[in-house]
Structure 1
Amino acid sequence: MTDLEFLDQAEKLLLAVERNCDRINDTGDADVDSQRTGGMVTLTFPNRSQIIINLQKPLHEVWMAAKSGGYHYRFDGAVWQDTKGAGEFFDRLSQDAAQQSGTPLRFKA
């Protein structure tokens, strides 16, 4: 994957996260604040816990930090997969966001 291909796919991922937050806030009782600064999106929940998603451009990875731990993802041509085989990005984000918010939440690509 070239740098430009990585940036294109990573931008799509960050945009999807932001749009999911908008959808969640518009259609339910959840309150997920999303703030973007360059290649980083910070999700903040009412209990002040956070999930931070940021781009690691030199490694062509997306990193996510949540209460459950830190995760590294690489694009496999179809989806963002955990580098240690722990699954797909949006599945992990959904699990962590639901746990941290106390409300079932679903993020999707």
Structure 2
Amino acid sequence: MTDQEYTTLVTDEMKRIYDYISETYGEDLDLELGDGILKITLVDDSKLIVSRQAPVKQLWLAARHGGFHFNYKDNQWLDSKSGEEILTMMSRFIDTSFEE
């Protein structure tokens, strides 16, 4: 994939994540999107941070559960170890924050 294709894919994915989380969780979370970084403050004050990593053409997710690296495959961003899709993983972490 070219650098331009990567940038477009990452921009679209971050917007998709932002829109989904805003619509699904409403005002319970604080979201900030800008300059290749999406920051989400959860109800328990922990954070999820999604960032683009252009040199390796990945998306990275930082969470209190650890750091995760996502590769673009089959039209989705999948964790390099578990194969879990990024929004599925993030939703699980968000749901857990409401339980604590």
Q: Please tell me whether residue 38 in structure 1 is matched to residue 11 in structure 2.
A: no
Structure 2 unaligned blocks of 5 or more: none
- Normalised to the residue count of structure 1, the TM-score between the two structures is 0.82
Does structure 1 conserve the Cα–Cα contact (< 8 Å) formed by 2:51 and 2:60?
Answer: yes
C-alpha distance in structure 2 between counterparts of 1:84 and 1:66, whole Å:
16
Q: Please tell me whether residue 12 in structure 1 is matched to residue 9 in structure 2.
A: no
Q: Which amino acid aligns with 2:3?
A: D
C-alpha distance in structure 1 between counterparts of 2:61 and 2:49, whole Å:
6
> Percent identity at matched positions?
23
Structure 1 match to 2:24: 24
Structure 1 unaligned blocks of 5 or more: 104-109
Taking a change above 3 Å as real, the CA distance of residues 25 and 93 of structure 1, as seen in their structure-2 partners, is closer
Question: Going by fraction, where is helix more abundant, 1 or 2?
Answer: 2
- Normalised to the residue count of structure 2, the TM-score between the two structures is 0.89
Q: Secondary structure at the match of 1:84?
A: coil
Q: Which has the higher contact order (CA 8 A, sep 6+)?
A: 1
**What's the C-alpha RMSD, in Å, of the aligned pairs?**
1.7
Does structure 2 conserve the Cα–Cα contact (< 8 Å) formed by 1:61 and 1:74?
Answer: yes
